[in-house]
Chains A and B, each alone.
Chain A
Amino acid sequence: MTIATPSPAPADAPPAPRTIYRHRVATRLWHWLNAVTIFIMIGSGLTILNAHPHLYWGAYGANFDHPWLNTIHWPSYVTIPAHYNLAIARRWHLLFALVLAFSLLAYMIVSVANRHFARDLRVRLRDLSAANLWHDLREHLAFRFHDPADPRAYNIFQKLSYVLVIFILIPVMILTGLAMSPAMDAAWPWLLDLFGGRQSARSIHFIAASGLTGFIVIHLVLVILAGPINEVGSMLTGRWRVPEEAA
Chain B
Amino acid sequence: MSLITRRTLIAGGAAGAGLLLSGCDQVAQVPALRKILFSGEIMNRGLQRALTNRDALAPEFSAAEMSPRFRVNGTHNPNTAEYTAMVAENFAHWRLQVGGLVAKPLSLSLAQLRGLPARTQITRHDCVEGWSAIGKWHGPRLATLLNAAGIRDAARYIVFTCADLYGGAPYYESIDLVDAFHPQTILAWALNDHVLDVGHGAPVRLRVERQLGYKHAKYVMRIDAVASLAGIGLGKGGYWEDHVDYDWYAGI
Contacts and interface: CB of A to CB of B under 8 A. Distances in A.
Interface of A: 36, 39-40, 43, 48-49, 51-52, 54, 59-65, 77, 80-83, 85-88, 90-92, 94-98, 180-189, 192, 198-199, 202, 220, 224, 227-229, 232
B67 A184 contact: no
Interface stretch (B92-100, B112-120, B244-252): B244-252
Nearest to B131: A62
Contacts of B67: 60, 62, 64-65
B103 interface: no
Interface residues of B, number: 57
Given A51-B129, A62-B132, A227-B1, A187 B68 contact: no
Contact of B131 (A52, A188, A228): A52
A183 B210 contact: yes
A39 B20 contact: yes
A77 B21 contact: yes
A98 B20 CA distance: 19
Interface of B: 1, 5-6, 9-10, 13, 17, 20-22, 24-25, 28, 36-41, 43-44, 47-48, 51-53, 56-59, 61, 65, 67-69, 71, 124, 126-134, 209-212, 240, 244-247, 251-252
B40 A198 contact: no
A81 B28 contact: yes
Nearest to B5: A229
Contacts of B68: 64-65
Q: Which 8 A-B pairs have the closest CB atoms?
A: A95-B40, A183-B251, A187-B52, A51-B129, A62-B131, A87-B245, A52-B130, A181-B252
Nearest to B246: A87
A186 B209 contact: yes
27 contacts: A36-B20, A51-B129, A52-B131, A59-B61, A59-B124, A60-B124, A62-B132, A62-B133, A64-B69, A80-B21, A82-B25, A83-B25, A85-B245, A91-B40, A92-B37, A94-B40, A94-B41, A96-B40, A181-B48, A181-B251, A182-B58, A182-B126, A182-B210, A186-B52, A189-B59, A199-B131, A228-B5
